[in-house]
Amino acid sequence: MIAEAGLAALWLAAALALLQFALACLGLNDERTQLRHGVRAVAVVQGLFVALAFALLVICFLRSDMSVQLVVTNSHSAKPWLYKLAGTWGNHEGSMLLWVTILGAAGGLVALLERRVVERTLTATLGAQALISFGFYAFLLFASNPFARAFPVPEDGQGLNPLLQDPGLAFHPPTLYIGYVGMSVAFSFAVGALVTRDVGRDFARAMRPWVLGAWIFLTLGITAGSYWAYYELGWGGWWFWDPVENASLMPWLAATALLHSVTVLATRDGLRAWTIMLAVVAFSMSMIGTFLVRSGILTSVHAFAVDPERGSFILALLALYIGGALALFAIRISTVKEGTQFDLVSREGALVANNLLLSAILGIVFVGTLYPLFAEAVSGDKLSVGPPYFNATAGPLTLALVIVMALGPVSRWRRDELRAVVGRVAIPVLLSAAALLAMVVFAPRIHILSFLGIVLAVGVGAASLAPLWGRNLRRTPMITYGMVLAHFGVAVSLAGMATESAFIKETLVASQMGETHTVGPYKITLKSIEPVAGPNWTALEAELVAQRGDNTPFTLRPQSRMFSNPPTETNEAAIATRLDGQLYLVLGKPDGQGRWQLRLWWKPMVTLIWLGGALIALGGLLSLIGRSLRERGQSLRKAYG
């Protein structure tokens, strides 16, 4: 019964989305205020129904209801409850339902909360949001029904990919999806503003919190995804330029550019067309990300729905939404008045440079990710584009971007003097010079990108604190703290990436029992290898004793795990975190003569990469809270004079 109720809720939500779209179209024409209120109400109810459908699917999974096909294929009654829950979205149908749930919930929230834009624009926005939702409802109902029954009812389920049995990954997709779908709200706002020709500061202020919120989740999702790949795959790397990683990086780059341009629009009423364009691009990238991953067009461990029929359905939606928005842009944007002008050397100028660099990086990642597909379509050749391309192209642009990032916050709005701006970052520049000198003396032979990365990280880290200098720290707005923290986080991440790449130590050995090997500052001794058993796996576990100098030795236990259902092997790396880096040990295969392969890594400062990611997200959160507090204060002052 639960599955049928879920399906019914999904149909109702789809019908409500269609109604919402129709009401919005009618409500635009005249002074039909009633209709516009109706659109708001329908949007809220639609959000509730789709949330109900999703909740019912979660219940099916938690109860291991094996009469539902999706549960059979993706769950097993012996799984821990957390992975039963995660099984709901660890598959094609469930993840699409989660996607459309967030889409519907976001629409409902916009309808409930949004008071800043004119009502006609809001109506158009909710109409656009309803149309997007409707397309995805149709996709679920006609091509990917998550509630389909299994017949005959099997005794038990077929499990879930053990690689995905990890608490980090259980919450990775929802986090990313909130980010992706949050971009849909920005997109709908852009469409709404184009429809009513109302591209101005109010519109930007309404859009900004949504962009900021979505961007926080994207940042968290990417950071968590990177850390997951790092400790779970056992390959010892933190970014592989895998198409699926790129699928989440591309919307993030677009969202970061949008976040900065929407601030220019909200504060200075500049960059109107550019902001609209970025909003369209950011959501397009979110959908393309979903499409690439879900259609199996790009082969990857993540592509678990290889199905051209579903692919063509999403492709049609993509054409409709992105093509439609871009056409609307081309027709309407010239009727939008140009915004305020500004000098090249100004806060706006730095933000434009930031936007251009981010867009260029986005273009590079986009081309690199799609080029293999393009080459195969044109010439039939199979090829892949790997880290060398991405590092060589995106690397230098990223370094240029962090320089701009250091200059922007210390520049004045509208116009400034270049000499004055550089003067304000004199101390960071001196610190960078000191770092440069130190590197030339102590580590002259490292890769140029790592070298520049470390030098710049020092300078940018200091420069990002510059907006706080000479201020009364207790009266500094939370928004400023947010920006400072986010920019400082970028410097921290950059420092981690550059230091790890420059000074990583790797030792690959076939080791006998009792043998000792050296990696970085550590001596590692293989003591024993014993079988161990977990709730749904068995493993071989190595006992490795690590000692640094004369300090107390400690034990690390990497495992090579075997899951029986379905049969899969995974590597559980043993990781010891220290203040100056991580020791990362992986147990490999036996060579048949009593020796075992061991991969030993010393990764100096590697944790800074994710610490930086967390700081960036936290900075975003402070800005979001600071802004809503400030706006509440302003509206209270307005109300009570």
Partner 1 sequence: MKRLLLWLPLGAFVVFFGILALGLYAPDDRTHPSKLIGKPMPTFNLPPAASGRPGLTSADLRGQPRLVNVFASWCVPCATEAPVLGMIAQQGVIVDGIAIRDRPQDLAGFLTRHGNPFRAIGDDPASQVQIALGSSGVPETFVVDGAGMIRYQHIGPIGPGDVDTILAKLGAAR
Residues contributing to the site for partner 1 (CB under 8 A):
277, 280, 284, 291, 295, 297, 306, 308, 311-312, 315, 318-319, 322-323, 326-327, 329-330, 333-334, 370, 373-374, 376-377
CB of 273 to partner 1, least distance (A): 8
306 vs 430 by CB, closer to partner 1: 306
Is the peptide bond prior to 535 cis by the omega test (within 30 degrees of 0)? no
**Rounded CA separation 598/517 (Å):** 10
222 vs 370 by CB, closer to partner 1: 370
Q: State how far Cα 483 lies from the chain centre.
A: 19
**Rounded CA separation 319/322 (Å):** 6
Short-list 115, 91, 95, 113, CA closest to 103: 95
Q: State how far Cα 215 lies from the chain centre.
A: 7
212 vs 325 by CB, closer to partner 1: 325
CB of 382 to partner 1, least distance (A): 9
Residue 535 has φ and ψ, to the nearest 5°, of -60, -40
Decide: 107 and 129 in contact? Cβ < 8 Å. yes
Q: State how far Cα 305 lies from the chain centre.
A: 21
**Rounded CA separation 585/556 (Å):** 8
330 vs 579 by CB, closer to partner 1: 330
Residue ranges of the alpha helices (H) in 199-335? 201-232, 243-268, 272-295, 308-318, 324-332
327 vs 532 by CB, closer to partner 1: 327
**Rounded CA separation 293/425 (Å):** 43
74 vs 284 by CB, closer to partner 1: 284
338 vs 343 by CB, closer to partner 1: 338
CB of 297 to partner 1, least distance (A): 5
**Rounded CA separation 216/219 (Å):** 5
107 vs 289 by CB, closer to partner 1: 289
- Exposure of 637 by Cβ count < 10 A (0-12 exposed, 13-18 middle, 19+ buried)? exposed
CB of 275 to partner 1, least distance (A): 14
Short-list 620, 614, 524, 611, CA closest to 574: 524
249 vs 322 by CB, closer to partner 1: 322
Decide: 82 and 166 in contact? Cβ < 8 Å. no
376 vs 417 by CB, closer to partner 1: 376
Q: DSSP secondary-structure letter at 148? A: P
Decide: 219 and 180 in contact? Cβ < 8 Å. no
CB of 377 to partner 1, least distance (A): 4
Q: DSSP secondary-structure letter at 373? A: H
328 vs 545 by CB, closer to partner 1: 328
174 vs 311 by CB, closer to partner 1: 311
CB of 279 to partner 1, least distance (A): 12
CB of 291 to partner 1, least distance (A): 8
277 vs 615 by CB, closer to partner 1: 277
CB of 378 to partner 1, least distance (A): 8
CB of 321 to partner 1, least distance (A): 11
Q: State how far Cα 47 lies from the chain centre.
A: 23
CB of 619 to partner 1, least distance (A): 31
DSSP for 592-622, written as a single string? SSS-EEEEEEEEETTHHHHHHHHHHHHHHHH
- What residue type is 391 in one-letter code? N
How close are the terminal C-alpha atoms of the chain, in Å? Answer: 56
CB of 329 to partner 1, least distance (A): 7
CB of 286 to partner 1, least distance (A): 15
CB of 285 to partner 1, least distance (A): 11
228 vs 329 by CB, closer to partner 1: 329
**Rounded CA separation 621/614 (Å):** 10
Decide: 543 and 528 in contact? Cβ < 8 Å. yes
- One-letter-per-residue 3-state SS of 299-358: CCCCCCCCCHHHHHHHHHHHHHHHHHHHHHHHHHHHHCCCCCCCCCCCHHHHHHHHHHHH
**Rounded CA separation 195/199 (Å):** 10
CB of 190 to partner 1, least distance (A): 13
**Rounded CA separation 501/523 (Å):** 21
